[in-house]
Structures are given as C-alpha cells and as structure tokens.
Amino acid sequence: MNQFSFGLFVEHLSEAALPLVAIVDSFVKRSLSPEEFERTYLRAFLDQGRQPLDDREYDILGELFFAVEDYCRYPAIRDETDLDEIELYNRACLALSRLKLLGHRN
C-alpha cells in the first residue's frame, strides 16, 4: 500500500487527486519549499480540470488552492489576508488530514 503523510493511503483517493496530493505531501515533508509548492500546486490544480475531482476532494483541494493563492513570501508586503509560510504549511496539513477522513467514510 502506498501511503502519504497522516496515514492517508492512495486507495482513499480518486485518480485525479493523486498528483495534487503528492505535491501537498512533498511540501508537508519539506521536500518542496513554499515557493516551489505555490508554483507547482497552482499549476497542477488548474491543469487537473481535464480529469475532474470527486466533489468532496474538490472542496478540500480547492480550499487549499485559494490558501496557496493567499501565500505571500515577503513580510514587508504581506497584509492581514495573506498567509505566511507557517500558515501555508498548516493549511496543507489540514487538507491532508481532511482527505484522510474522507477515506474513512467510504
């Protein structure tokens, strides 16, 4: 069995979600910097439209998409609606945890 962080198994996910979850997992494991995660996740999320996500996965991964859009690496220009690296990391962890819960409901 292939496993991501938080005990999330590949078998819990649709085929369309796998590339996105792999990117999130790489960020959570610190294999991607916040900037690499931002660039890679935004592109992959927009490209995944060719293979639609399950509605529940879309809600979770779409919410993360908007969080990634709110990430700002520069503290000097960050406003109260922007996320810093820690907040972005926490949102990524939350998304993986929520996806894991979906697998337990199936």
pLDDT digits (tens, 9 = 90+) for 26-48: 999 999 999 999 999 999 999 88
Which residues have a Cβ under 8 Å from the Cβ of 51 and sit 6 or more positions away?
Answer: 15, 16
| Whether 103 contacts 12, CB under 8 Å | yes
Q: How far apart are CA 40 and CA 104, in angstroms?
A: 28
Rg of the Cα atoms in the chain: 13
Domain ranges in the chain are 5-105
pTM over 0.85: yes
Which residue type, as a one-letter code, is found at position 63?
A: E
Task: Please state the rounded mean pLDDT for residues 6-24.
Answer: 84
Which residue type, as a one-letter code, is found at position 62?
A: G
The superfamily CATH assigns to domain 5-105 is Colicin D (1.20.120.650)
pLDDT at 50 exceeding the cut of 70: no
Tell me what pLDDT residue 1 has.
46
Closest by Cα among 60, 70, 61, 15 to 38: 70
Residues facing 44 on adjacent strands:
none
